[in-house]
């Protein structure tokens, strides 16, 4: 039996799935806060804010030394599988865009800037669930070691294009593989003239070369 609802304009009884009332022609779209992608974007932004707030704190001398020791010196290529004690990680693609998102939800970089979009995946190969806060993260880094954090809003808009199945608050269970993405806003001139890498952070750090 078809579920029914009342039209917001004329109060006539119409099918719950109807977007336009057949009686009066009024639109009966689902409120934005009831759509799945709205809460996905809210969740992504919340997690990114928490992650970036901890990443942006000034590192101590000891932490810098530990980071250097934990950075893998072997360069990987896009498409290579990086195997750690807990994950199989793969940077599946890197591209540049002048706009990300859909017709109604989109973002463009500032003048002179460009978006660098990184798609990656990771699989839990451990025997226990892993918290979403401990899952791999990526940053953009140039040959001088300058790290670029992801653009929170642009990454959220880009997610409406790629529809990643990343874990936002739930744990990643053993054997499960998910797709994720991140977007970085940088100077187009800088990106075209410098050599860049994707820095994968998963306990240790791994550099993936970007071929332009």
Write the DSSP string, 182-196: EEEEEEHHHHHHS-E
Token reading at 121: 């995946």
In what order do the strands lie in the sheet containing 204-209? 71-77, 204-209, 196-202, 137-142, 147-148
pLDDT exceeds 60 at position 2? no
What is the count of structural domains for the chain?
2
Confidence of residue 132 (pLDDT cuts 50, 70, 90): confident
Tell me, yes or no, whether 81 and 21 share the same domain.
no
Tell me, yes or no, whether 157 and 113 share the same domain.
yes
Mean pLDDT of 138-164: 90
pLDDT value for 40: 66
Token reading at 167: 């874990």
Token reading at 4: 């029914």
What CATH number is associated with residue 142?
2.60.40.1240
In a domain, 50, yes or no: yes
Tell me, yes or no, whether 100 and 16 share the same domain.
no
Tell me, yes or no, whether 87 and 116 share the same domain.
yes
Token reading at 50: 């928490």
CA–CA dist 23, 6 (Å, integer): 11
Tell me, yes or no, whether 96 and 113 share the same domain.
yes
Please state, rounded to an integer, the average pLDDT across all residues of the chain. Answer: 82
Mean pLDDT of 74-100: 93
The contacts of residue 52 (CB under 8 Å, 6+ apart) are 149, 150, 152
Tell me, yes or no, whether 182 and 100 share the same domain.
yes
pLDDT exceeds 90 at position 76? yes
Q: What is the pLDDT of residues 92-113, one digit of tens each?
A: 999 999 999 988 788 999 999 9
Confidence of residue 164 (pLDDT cuts 50, 70, 90): confident
Instruction: Name which of 157, 180, 162, 42 is nearest 100 in CA terms.
Output: 157
Q: What is the pLDDT of residues 29-49, one digit of tens each?
A: 655 555 555 666 666 666 666
Instruction: Name which of 120, 128, 121 is nearest 173 in CA terms.
Output: 128
CA–CA dist 105, 112 (Å, integer): 22
Taking the model in full, what pTM does it have? 0.68
Confidence of residue 140 (pLDDT cuts 50, 70, 90): very high
Instruction: Name which of 119, 51, 123, 116 is nearest 82 in CA terms.
Output: 123
Higher pLDDT, 103 or 148: 148
Helix axes 36-55, 152-162, angle to 10 degrees: 140
Confidence of residue 158 (pLDDT cuts 50, 70, 90): very high
Mean pLDDT of 16-24: 75
Domain coverage including residue 124: 32-56+75-209
Mean pLDDT of 119-140: 94
């Amino acid at each position: 039996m078809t579920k029914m609802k009342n039209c917001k304009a004329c109060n006539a009884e119409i099918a719950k799935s109807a977007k336009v009332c057949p009686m009066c022609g009024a639109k009966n779209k689902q409120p934005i806060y009831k759509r799945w992608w709205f809460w996905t974007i809210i969740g992504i932004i919340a997690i990114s804010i928490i992650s970036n707030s901890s990443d942006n704190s000034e590192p101590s001398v000891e932490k810098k030394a530990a980071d250097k020791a934990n950075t893998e010196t072997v360069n990987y290529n896009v498409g290579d599988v990086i195997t750690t004690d807990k994950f199989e990680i793969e940077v599946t693609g890197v591209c540049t865009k002048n706009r990300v998102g859909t017709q109604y939800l989109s973002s463009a970089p500032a003048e002179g800037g460009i978006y660098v979009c990184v798609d990656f995946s990771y699989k839990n190969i451990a025997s226990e669930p892993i918290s979403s806060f401990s899952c791999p993260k990526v940053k953009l880094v140039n040959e001088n070691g300058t790290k670029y954090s992801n653009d929170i809003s642009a990454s959220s808009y880009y997610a409406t294009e790629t529809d990643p199945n990343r874990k936002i608050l739930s744990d990643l269970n053993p054997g499960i593989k998910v797709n994720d993405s991140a977007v970085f806003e940088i100077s187009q001139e800088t990106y075209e003239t410098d050599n860049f890498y994707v820095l994968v952070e998963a306990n240790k750090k791994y550099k993936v070369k970007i071929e332009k």
